[in-house]
Amino acid sequence: MTDSIEERGAMVWRYVKAQLMVLLCGGLVGPIFLAVFFATGEDRLMKWMFWVGLLVTALDVLIALALANYGARAAAKTTMLEASGVLALAQVTGMTETGTRINDQPLVKLSLHVEGPGLVPFDTQDSVLASVTRLPLITGRKLVLLVDPQTNSYQIDWNRSALVNGMMPAQFTLAEDNRTYDLSGQAGPLMEIMTILKANGVPLNGTIDIRSNPAVRQQVMNVVRRAAARQAPPQAQMAATAPPPGNPYAAPSVSTSQRLQELETLRATGAISESEYAAKRQQIISDL
């Protein structure tokens, strides 16, 4: 009963937010026309304002209802995937421009190669908004997905993607070792840790304290220590020119033509300036 009340409350709140967004994006025209018509004493010469205002207002309500319904379905899908989905890593193998902009943000089409525990690797395409915060994750070529293992239906998890791309710090302090380990940007260990946290219902938001859950803490500590033991000295890391063979989380090799195509897309979408474009293009050509 409580869940039902909460669900109805959430649906009402989604509708209110959607209605406010519609009104702010031009939906105020309908109510204004109706207000002007009634304020002028329902003048027959202004009758057109009544019908136009009524039509626009009705469309506002229908659009808000559709947006609220879409939000409810998206929220339900996210809840389902968090409960029974698999965390998978998608390599971005290509990005092309669609020529569409939404709220002044470019819509791009991504080609993804998805791998995860218990999943048969598959390729897919998705259209996403390349906002300022998402663009570094896209060009980082690693995205975290929540995948339904039965249907391969998925959602991109941008927060987890920021973690594996090193856009968010990933530091683990172990009192037993009197040491803080930095795993920022290490996709393999971080995917293991996020899978452990997800399996135990630990939300990934900000600082996570798992001292009250000894079993989870021990599993995470094992992954952190194992990752730290595998870390090469700084000199060896600088000398490395290729990812180790067989690493499922290593970024795929990218051809020069693909790099140039993505650079053209970034310039076309306004993500980089002409000077940045010229400098990066020269760098790619010099690498040949």
- Report if pTM > 0.85: no
Percentage of the chain modeled with pLDDT above 70: 75
pLDDT at 232: 53
Q: Is 123 helix (H, G, I), strand (E, B) or coil?
A: strand
pLDDT at 239: 47
pLDDT at 127: 93
User: Which pair of structure tokens corresponds to residue 177?
Assistant: 């070792």
pLDDT at 11: 62
pLDDT at 82: 82
- Cα-to-chain-centroid distance, residue 147: 14
Q: Is 114 helix (H, G, I), strand (E, B) or coil?
A: strand
146 phi/psi in degrees, rounded to 5: -100, 115
Low-confidence winner among 179-183, 212-216, 283-287 (lowest mean pLDDT)? 283-287
Spatial contact of 89 and 164, defined as CB atoms under 8 Å apart = yes
What is the enclosing helix (H) or strand (E) of 135?
helix 135-139
Average pLDDT across the chain, whole number: 79
Which residue type, as a one-letter code, is found at position 162? A
Distances (CA, A) of 100 to 109, 208, 258: 10, 39, 21
On the 0-12 / 13-18 / 19+ scale of CB atoms within 10 A, 280 is middle
Tens digits of per-residue pLDDT, 36-67? 778 877 777 777 888 887 888 888 777 777 77
Annotated domain spans of the chain: 2-83, 85-239, 256-286
User: Which pair of structure tokens corresponds to residue 118?
Assistant: 């218990």
